[in-house]
Structure 1
Amino acid sequence: MNPHIFTRRPAVASLALALMLVSTTGAAATLGGDTIRIVVPFAAGGSADQTARLLASKLGPALGKIGVVDNKPGAGGQLGLQDVIRSAPDGHTLLVTPNGPVVVSPYLQKLAYDPSRDLTPVAMIAFVPSAIAVYQGTPWKTLADLIAAGKADPQPLQYSVPAIGTHMHLAGELLQSMTGARLQAVPYRGTSQAAVAVAGGEVPMAISDLSTLQPLAKSGRLRILALTGSRRTSTAPAIPTVAELGIQGYSADAWIGLFAPSGTPADLIRKMNAEVEKALQQPDVKQTLSTAGLEPWSLSPSEMAQFLATDAAKWKKVIQDAHIKLDN
């Protein structure tokens, strides 16, 4: 795959907290200027925003700059991506985004850009554990029970999701295609609302971020059956993955990554990747990510490019097979 994988308005919020300029040697000297602007294509407060602010506080000083977060929400992330894509490929404008705008949106709707051509992967930052949960009033104690019910009932089992086209929605479509269970996504206005819907019995099942589901599971309002990703999580090590429970090959990883405009010099990409890797090893970074329900995920630029190619191909097939389409 071409390594150039996978675009400004005044900052809604920033990390201009007088971050001290440190070393100005090496690749940092090639940047010029005082600021690194990290665009987040969603509103302040979400996991991508929190991750970007944490990264700005580390990456900026490491490169002898001030890290500034620029939230640019709109059009499902398209406005933010276009901002970065149109920026000079000099390391001064970067993108922190979850997987949706990069490996899902291109297959759901027509875009004015091609993430695989117009953005370059810099570093993976975080893995976002997600899970399948059911209302506590259902008889399903295991994932096998749920799948059996989805095969036996002529009506599809409904599952709540934050919106159509999200990784939670596609995780359900992938489960349906691999097991034969009949499932139907029911969109709500956000992750919290989708989780509360299953906890209250409005729908029997949910696929959502683990951090949103865990408090409801601890209160006894729902049961978490399996993780949808490719690995277990340190925040809930006893919960198995879907693949571990017999659906071999199943994985629906959610992630947050760092990107630069296509054409950014390779040596600068490597330098930024190395600084992100250092930051992810710091205890305060690990703790902050854990509190936000995230886990550090380290990949080199080439490893990230390979992963993105595989991830995009998977979701392209799921979207096409399920005939999912969003209106532009």
Structure 2
Amino acid sequence: MQHVTAHPDGILAVDAGYGRPGVAAIHLVIHQGHAAVIDAGTNASVPRVLGALVAAGIPPENVDWVILTHIHLDHAGGAGSLMCAFPNARLVVHPRGVRHMVDPAKLWEGTSAVYGAERAFALYGRLAPVPPERIVAAADGTEIDLAGRRFLVLETPGHSRHHICVWDETARAFFTGDTFGLSYRELDVDGRASIFPTTTPTQFDPDALHASIDRLLSFFPETMYLTHYSRVTDVERLAADLHRLIGAHVAVAEAARGEGVARHVEILAGLEQIVREEAERQGWTHPEAEVLELFRQDLELNAQGLGIWLDFTAGKEPAPTQ
């Protein structure tokens, strides 16, 4: 299957079909004839997941877990539909995310506020609720068993307050959602990956994000599986770059003047300059305009998140509630 990539240790990356190819990965862990799905993509991703499981010889009743790193809809929008397809699965989500999976109305409102209702529906479709009895509220330290394969849940705030990362002891790897940033395969240079942070609305917290990254490193992982996009190694180098780039994002935000649209435009221009400098540092071979277009949506969302963070730290906005 062209949209499925096989990685070591029984891990498959399914391209979620979110925008262009290579933007969002849904990871399947196959072990002893059973499977866990880590992140759920959108409703449009569901046929791809089902097809990948069929190709792997896993019947729907042998999917034991659907695990969400957080409830942003590019990660969680397809969760309700997948749970309908997997009769024996339980949904794992941060305690703050449970109520939004049971009743997605407020989650939908927040997403519509970021994208606009029409664009949000085109991206994510209609959200299906999950019965509360099928949900596991995964606080820090929760252990998950997949046919004898052990996963450990860590709370990793910074990108959002409802973010978890999942440690796979067998693979010596983390499934990182957005905590370990994004790494687009188009930008690999001779197999060498690069990294970029996500400061998207509405709960960016740079100090918490730095701490979460360091906590992941304390496990000495060999590999990180990012939702955007899948497998990276050379973890210590990427972590150092990620710390540096989070600091650069914060510096751009703190240097911005004014309010509203004017400040947003200034932050966005600063983030574009970070991309230009990173292109030179990493040796990306694409033309500048192509690189900026590749990051266009990420930069827009990062700028929004930085603006909300500035207002919150200045006491101008209430704390996000998710």
With structure 1 as the length reference, what TM-score do the two structures score?
0.28
Which one has more relative contact order, counting CA pairs under 8 Å at least 6 apart? 1
With structure 2 as the length reference, what TM-score do the two structures score?
0.28
